[in-house]
């Protein structure tokens, strides 16, 4: 079978595009390298490879590209995928028994609102033209913005069910099992139900409603109807200004597609009944700090969650709109992380132990606060590489188990330990801080640039958590974003 991967969550309001170099930073593997570089790394690609190799399947690897969430994907990146993938498809078409793809489902590229749909359509046309009938199966992220073209041109798409995504690798194994079943018996139909609801990332954790209720109802349908092979509950990704943005449902069935479609209507009703919880409220920092001061004493840090600069949602990771005001209150025991290659370079130039005065953060664009002046001691300098402490971390869905922040520095001030990184890295695994000599367990406050994906790492060590409303393009207040293509969508609590 033919194997490929094209994985990106695209934030269309960011100015900086996602380039081929950004894929090279995370994963850009061709041919045998896909197997050599991913087997055993806890990623979805590893999940498929492990399953396939255990069964002795003949894998024809093409190209696998994955980059951190970020701005519009440049045309050349999609072209690179196509120009590698299709010649191999053409050359090996006669020996294929299936095509398996690791996708994300919320990619947008220059010139296309739906690159995954177009890719699947092209594959489907090619197979039809050659009279080849083989299953085409893809893995999707739970945050996929699914189009009808993606459904119509695949045999089955299989999405994660957990957010944080601790089941990304397991989902690829589940998809591989379904792929195997379809190679034995290709009868399958897919149905899709788009909705008008565009939910902010903070509203789609799977421990909470509405996701919890809809997922539970989906599992109950699968359990009672053996003809249903899989149901996807896809939260969507709010920061893609494309017509297919938003919450959707899909099912793969051996039975009557009309019955499967009726199930999806039932699931949509569960969503609607719980919809208000999908738009959680956030408080401003002043109000949050009043609540913190009223907390009973306890162990562990207070998490000041900064969804507006949710790195796993694509923003630059250098927003200062919480850190600056928090420092101004005079509070101590603060841990924060900022992506700021300039500041790292200044720390490196000054050397370990030196005292430096820097201007940190707020440098990427005008949406994420202003640089703040800091004076402190350079406490640690590293190459920024770390291994995940939790192999089921959300981060493994994007990167596998090895992460690289690039040259990194820890700046120690009277009030704070600030980890400065060269590349942005979402706070999904405690290995990020522990590897740099920072123990968030001992902090008073940790500023966490995430919406939901940090929870498996940080909730076990925290005293309390607050989502803070601040400036940034991953704001939970979607009404602040200049959407143009979301006609007729619901972006706030109805």
Q: Which helix (H) or strand (E) holds 152?
A: helix 148-152
- What whole-number distance in Å separates Cα of residue 157 and Cα of residue 150? 8
Closer to Zn ion by Cβ: residue 289 or 452? 452
Closer to Zn ion by Cβ: residue 13 or 126? 13
Contact call for residues 326 and 467 (beta carbons, < 8 A): no
Neighbours of 40 (CB within 10 A): 12
Torsion of CA 70, 152, 230, 94, to 10 degrees: -100
Considering the complex, what minimum distance in angstroms separates the CB of residue 398 from Zn ion?
8
Considering the complex, what minimum distance in angstroms separates the CB of residue 454 from Zn ion?
13
Considering the complex, what minimum distance in angstroms separates the CB of residue 453 from Zn ion?
7
CA proximity to 45, closest of 79, 98, 74, 7: 7
CB-side neighbour CA atoms (13 Å) of 154: 33
- What whole-number distance in Å separates Cα of residue 123 and Cα of residue 125? 6
- Residue 115: exposed, middle, or buried by beta-carbon count in 10 A (0-12, 13-18, 19+)? buried
Considering the complex, what minimum distance in angstroms separates the CB of residue 206 from Zn ion?
11
Closer to Zn ion by Cβ: residue 12 or 320? 12
Closer to Zn ion by Cβ: residue 162 or 340? 162
Considering the complex, what minimum distance in angstroms separates the CB of residue 405 from Zn ion?
20
- What whole-number distance in Å separates Cα of residue 81 and Cα of residue 232? 26
Torsion of CA 98, 101, 106, 107, to 10 degrees: -110
Closer to Zn ion by Cβ: residue 48 or 85? 48
Closer to Zn ion by Cβ: residue 4 or 105? 105
Strands 334-339 and 416-421 come out as parallel
Judged by the rule CB under 5 A, the positions of this chain that interact with Zn ion are 141, 143
Considering the complex, what minimum distance in angstroms separates the CB of residue 489 from Zn ion?
19
Contact call for residues 124 and 146 (beta carbons, < 8 A): no
Closer to Zn ion by Cβ: residue 145 or 475? 145
Residue number of the CB closest to Zn ion reads: 143
Considering the complex, what minimum distance in angstroms separates the CB of residue 309 from Zn ion?
17
Contact call for residues 175 and 101 (beta carbons, < 8 A): no
Contact call for residues 64 and 27 (beta carbons, < 8 A): yes
Closer to Zn ion by Cβ: residue 143 or 368? 143
Considering the complex, what minimum distance in angstroms separates the CB of residue 106 from Zn ion?
8
């Amino acid at each position: 079978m033919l194997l490929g991967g094209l994985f990106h969550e695209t934030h269309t309001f960011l100015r900086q595009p996602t380039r081929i170099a950004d894929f090279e930073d995370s994963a850009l593997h061709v041919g045998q390298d896909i197997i050599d570089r991913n087997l055993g790394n806890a990623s979805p690609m590893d999940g498929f490879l492990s399953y396939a190799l255990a069964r002795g399947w003949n894998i024809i690897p093409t190209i696998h590209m994955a980059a951190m969430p970020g701005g519009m994907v440049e045309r050349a990146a999609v072209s690179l995928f196509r120009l590698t993938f299709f010649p191999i498809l053409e050359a090996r078409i006669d020996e294929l028994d299936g095509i398996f793809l690791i996708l994300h489902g919320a990619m947008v590229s220059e010139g296309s609102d739906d690159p995954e749909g177009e890719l699947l359509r092209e594959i489907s046309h090619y197979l039809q033209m050659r009279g080849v009938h083989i299953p085409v199966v893809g893995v999707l992220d739970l945050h996929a913005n699914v189009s009808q073209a993606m459904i119509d041109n695949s045999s089955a798409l299989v999405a994660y069910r957990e957010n944080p995504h601790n089941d990304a690798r397991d989902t690829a194994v589940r998809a591989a099992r379904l792929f195997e079943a379809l190679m034995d018996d290709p009868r399958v139909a897919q149905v899709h139900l788009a909705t008008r609801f565009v939910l902010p990332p903070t509203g789609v954790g799977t421990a909470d409603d509405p996701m919890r209720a809809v997922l539970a109802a989906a599992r109950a349908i699968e359990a009672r109807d053996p003809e249903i092979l899989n149901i996807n509950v896809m939260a969507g990704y709010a920061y893609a200004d494309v017509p297919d943005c938003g919450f959707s449902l899909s099912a793969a069935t051996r039975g009557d597609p009309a019955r499967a479609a009726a199930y999806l209507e039932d699931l949509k009703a569960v969503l609607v009944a719980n919809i208000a919880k999908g738009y959680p409220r956030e408080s401003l920092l002043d109000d949050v700090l009043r609540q913190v001061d009223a907390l009973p004493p306890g162990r562990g840090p207070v998490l000041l969650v900064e969804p507006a600069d949710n790195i796993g949602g694509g923003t630059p990771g250098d927003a200062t709109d919480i850190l600056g005001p928090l420092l101004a209150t005079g509070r101590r025991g603060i841990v924060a992380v900022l992506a700021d290659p300039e500041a790292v370079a200044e720390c490196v130039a000054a050397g370990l132990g030196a005292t430096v005065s820097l201007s940190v953060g707020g440098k990427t664009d005008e949406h994420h606060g202003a640089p703040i002046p800091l004076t402190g001691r350079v406490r640690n300098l590293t190459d920024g590489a770390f291994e995940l402490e939790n192999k089921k971390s959300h981060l493994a869905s994007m990167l596998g188990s090895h992460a690289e922040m690039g040259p990194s520095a820890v700046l120690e001030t009277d009030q704070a330990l600030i980890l400065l990184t060269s590349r942005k890295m979402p706070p999904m695994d405690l290995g990020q801080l522990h590897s740099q000599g920072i123990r968030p367990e001992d902090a008073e406050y940790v500023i966490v640039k995430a919406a939901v994906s940090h929870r498996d790492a940080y909730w076990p060590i925290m005293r309390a958590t607050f989502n803070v409303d601040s400036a940034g393009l991953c704001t939970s207040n979607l009404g602040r974003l200049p959407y143009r293509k979301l006609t007729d969508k619901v972006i706030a609590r109805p």
